[in-house]
Chain A
Amino acid sequence: MTASHRDSQGRPIVAVTGLGLVTSLGQGKDANWEALTAGRSGIHRIERFPTEGLRTTIAATVDFVFDRPFAAPELSEKLATLAAEEAVGQSGLGEPGDFPGELFMAVPPVEMEWPQKQEIAQAIEGDADYDALLRAAATHKYKAMHELFLFGGVAEHIAEKFGTKGSPISLSTACSSGATAIQMGVEAIRRGETQAALCIGTDGSVHAEALIRFSLLSALSTQNDPPEAAAKPFSKNRDGFVMGEGSGALVLEDYDHALARGATILGIIAGCGERGDGFHRTRSSPDGKPAILAMQDALADAGLTPEDVDYINAHGTSTPENDKMEAMSCSAVFGERMASLPISSNKSMLGHTLTAAGAVEAVISLLTIANGRIPPTINYQQPDAAIALDVVPNQARDAKVRTVLSNSFGFGGQNTCLVLTAEPKVP
C-alpha cells in the first residue's frame, strides 16, 4: 500500500465491496434489479396465514425460501443468510466461515409467537394462562423455543455462520434500522477498530399479529385490490404502507484495505446523519426539522452540499403523513432544485421492508449508481399537487448518478440518512 486515502475530514474512506439482496421480487441483485427497473411489484395477497376479518390482506412477503411452517426469526435469519452469502461472495473477502470484520445487524424485535404458545397450550388442562404455560415450560420439553425467541439469536447465528469477529450487534431504530446498521459499520471502520464490517438489515416478520398491530394504528393501506397497486408513494390517493419482507447486506471495507487486495469498489458510504425527534411516538415534528437536520448532517459528514446530490432514494412509505413530511423536508434542504431532482420510492414495489428497509434501499441505491438507471415510483397515477416532485413516475429512467441520498425514518422519532457515492475518481 502506498498512499493512504482519507475523506474530507481526514478519516478512513469506507468502501462497499459486496452487496446482497433478497426481497419479494426474488433472490439476488440481478433478479431484483431486473424487476425493479421493469416497475414490477412484489406485493400480493397473503397466503401465509388466514386473512379473514382483517382490513389489510396483502403484503410483499418472501414465500420462496421455506416449504414448511416457520417462526419470524427463522425467516429473518434465512433472508439475512442469503443476502450475506451474496455480499460476502462478491467481496471475495476472507474465507468461507471466516469473515475478517465485525457484524452489525438490524433485526426485528422478537417475541414468542402464537403457534409455539398453542403447542404448549395443547399440553395444558384448564385455562391456558401464563402460570399454566410456566408449569408446562418447567418440564423443559420445549427447550428449543428459548433460543428461537431470544432477541440476540439471529445475529448470533449469523456471526457463527460467517465467522465474523467481535461481539455481534443486534440493533433497532424501527424503520431506519437498516441504515443504522450501515452507519455503525462506517463508524467502526472510521475508528480503525475493524477493517471490514458486514452490515445487514433483515425482516421476515409478516405474521397475523404483526400485521394487526400496524393495522390497529391505521398505518397500512387497505386498498387490497389489486394488491400490486396498493403502495402509491407521493400519490394523492396514498392511504398507508404495505408490509414487506427482505434483506439487504453490505460488505464495508476500509478503502485502502480494499485497494490493496485489488477488490472491486462498488461505491462509497460517504456520509451518515441521524437525528431524534421528541415530538410524538408515531408522528414527525410538523416542521420536519429532525429529518431536515439528518439530511444536512449526512451531507456535511460526506463533505458534500445539496448541489452534489443526483438522486434521492426516498423513505416514501406511501402513508399520507410520511410522504408529505419527507417532501417538505427535502424541499427545505434542496430548495428550488427539488422540483427537478429525481426522488423515487422502492417501497412502491417492495412494500415497506421495515427493519430491513434502510439496508435494502442502500443496496438498490448503489445499484442505481452502478447501472446509471433510476428505478421508478410505480402506481403514480394521481399526483398530489401539494407535493410536486419528480418521483420518476412509473418508468425507470437512465441518468448519470454519482451521489445518492437515502432516507430512512422510523417510529419513535428515528431519522437516519446516508450519502452513497460512486468510487472516487483516481487522482
Chain B
Amino acid sequence: MAHDVLITGIGLASSLGEGIEPHAQALAAGTAPIVDETSFAPYPLHPLKPLELDRQIPKKSDQRQMEPWQRLGVYTAGLALDSAGLKDDAQIKSELQVIVAAGGGERDHAVDAAILTGLRGANQPGPFLNERLMGDLRPTLFLAQLSNLLAGNIAIVHGVTGASRTFMGEEQAGVDAIRTAHARIASGQAQVMLVGGAYNAERRDMLLLFELGGFLRTGAFAPVFAREDAPGMITGSAAAFLVLESAEHAKARGARAHARLSQVGAHRSRRQPGSVAKGLDELLAGFGSIAPGALAVSAATGCAEITAEEAAAIAAAAPKARRVATGDLVGHAVEAAFPVSVALAAAALSTGAADEAIVTGAAHWRGEGAARLVKV
C-alpha cells in the first residue's frame, strides 16, 4: 500500500536568487546572507532578489492582479513545474492537485494610515470608516489578499486545475502542507502533487503582527542559533514549491528525482519549557536511525528558548550531522519556512552534497515539524 514519495521538481526563490543552483551553492559554501538592515529599521530582513516576472507570469494583467506574495508564489510554482518537466504537460496539470501554505495579502499601508489618523479626530468614527473604505479601497485588492488566491492564481497562470487546498496557520501550515501531500501520495490517494508556500517579508503589516508579540529581532543580523543578545525572527522574502510524485508515476514518465521524501511529521502541544525539544525528539525518533553524515536543515525562528530546544533536539538525534539554519541563508519565511527548508535539503541531495537530510522547524508560537529525505 505504501508508495515511495519522490521530489521530482524544486522551485526556490529568495534573497539569494532563484532556482536550485544559488541555494545549493550557499548551502555548501555558507556564504554571507543578503540582509537589509535599514529599510525597515530597526528590523533587519532579507529582501527578495527581484524576479523577471515575465518569465513565469507572461501576462501583465495577471501580474497586476496579484500582490507581491502571490507573484512570488506563482513564479516559484512555475519554477517547480519547469524543474519537474510538467510545465507543458496539459494532461497532468489538469489533474495536478495543489496544497499551498499561505498567510494573507498585504494591506494598503497608505490607506490604513490615512484612515487611522483621521479616525482619531472623527466625530462619527463608524460612518467615517465606512465612507473612507468604500472610497479608498481598490475593489480588486481583496482578491490579492485572500489566502486561497495564491492557489487560484497558480491555476490561472499555470493551468494547474486538479484542485487546491490552502492551509493557514503560520509556520505549521507549511509543515502540514508537506505532511498531507506526502501522506496522500504514500497512501495512493494521489499520484503527483504540487506543494509549497510563499512569504513576502517586506511588509510593515506583518512586522507589526510579530512585533506585537515581541517575536522580532532588532538591530544587526546575527545567526539563528546565536541570537541570545536579542532573540527573535529575522524574516526573509522567500518561496518554495515542490513537485511530489509516487515512484511509479515518476518512473512511468521518465522523471528525474532529486530526492526521496521518506517521512514527514507534525506535532502540537501547549508550549512550556521543554515541550519543543520533546516534540521534535519524538518526531525524529520516529524516523529511525539517521546516518552520521546527514545534513540537518533547521527552519528555526531564532526566538528565545525554543531555538535552543530545537538545537538540542537536532544534536540528540543526529550528533554528527552538519547543521544549517535556513534563516542564516534566506531568513525566516513563516508559512514558507518549512517548504523552503525541505527544498534546500532536496537541493543538497540533488547536487550530491549529502546522502541524507533531516529537516526540523519549531514555529514561533505553536507547533513543530520534521522531515527526512534520502538520496534516490
Question: What is the size, in residues, of chain B's interface with A at 8 Å between Cβ atoms?
Answer: 81
Q: Which residue of A lies closest to B66 (CB)?
A: A281
- A147, A155, A171: the one within 8 Å of B166 (CB): A171
Q: How far is the CA of A130 from the CA of B208 in the complex (A)?
A: 8
> Given A169-B167, A412-B146, is A217 in contact with B152 using a C-beta cutoff of 8 Å?
no
Across the interface, which residues of B come within 8 angstroms of A122, CB to CB? 120
Distance in angstroms from B162 CB to nearest chain A CB is 6
- B187 touching A166, Cβ below 8 Å: no
Interface flags, B110-139, vs A, CB<8A=1, else 0 = 001100110110001111011101100101
Inside 8 A of A300's CB, which chain B residues have their CB? none
Q: Is A169 in contact with B176, judged by CB distance below 8 angstroms? A: yes
Q: Judge if A282 is at the interface, Cβ distance under 8 Å.
A: yes
Q: Is A111 an interface residue (CB 8 A)?
A: yes
Does A150 reach chain B (CB closer than 8 Å)? yes
Task: Determine if B172 is an interface residue (Cβ-Cβ < 8 Å).
Answer: yes
- Asked if B116 contacts A151 (CB within 8 A), the reply is no
Q: Which of B153-201 contact A (CB under 8 A)?
A: 153, 155-156, 158-170, 172-173, 175-176, 179-180, 183-184, 187, 189
In the assembled complex, which residues on chain A have CB atoms less than 8 Å from the CB atom of B143? 217, 281-282, 411
- CB-defined contacts of B133 to chain A, threshold 8 Å: 208-209, 212
Query: A103: nearest residue on chain B (CB-CB)?
Result: B268
Q: Are A193 and B365 within 8 A (Cβ)? A: no
- By the criterion CB–CB under 8 Å, are A130 and B109 in contact? yes
Q: Which stretch (A89-97, A137-145, A236-244, A378-386) binds chain B?
A: A137-145
Residues of A within 8 Å of B117, CB to CB, are 121, 127-129
A residues 310-335 near B (Cβ < 8 Å) are none
In the complex, A422→B205 CA distance in Å?
Answer: 48
**Chain B residue nearest to A274 in the complex (CB):** B163
Cβ of B98 and Cβ of A276 under 8 Å apart? yes
Whether the pair A278, B155 counts as a contact (CB closer than 8 A) is yes
| CB of A103 to closest CB in B, whole Å | 10
Are the CB atoms of A112 and B161 closer together than 8 Å? no
B134-A109 in contact (CB<8A): no
B126 CB contacts on chain A under 8 angstroms: 49-50, 52, 208
Q: CA–CA, A171 to B165, complex, Å?
A: 7
Sample of 10 further A-B pairs with CB below 8 A, known A117-B116, A167-B266, A414-B152: A50-B124, A109-B146, A151-B104, A151-B173, A156-B169, A173-B166, A208-B130, A276-B164, A278-B155, A410-B148
Interface residues of chain A, those whose CB is within 8 Å of chain B, are 49-54, 107, 109-112, 114, 117-118, 121-122, 127-131, 133-134, 137-138, 140, 142-143, 145-147, 149-152, 155-156, 159-160, 166-174, 180, 184, 187, 190-191, 193, 208-209, 212-217, 274-282, 290, 294, 410-416
Considering the complex of A and B, which 3 residue pairs feature the smallest CB-CB distances, nearest first? A152-B169, A412-B152, A146-B213
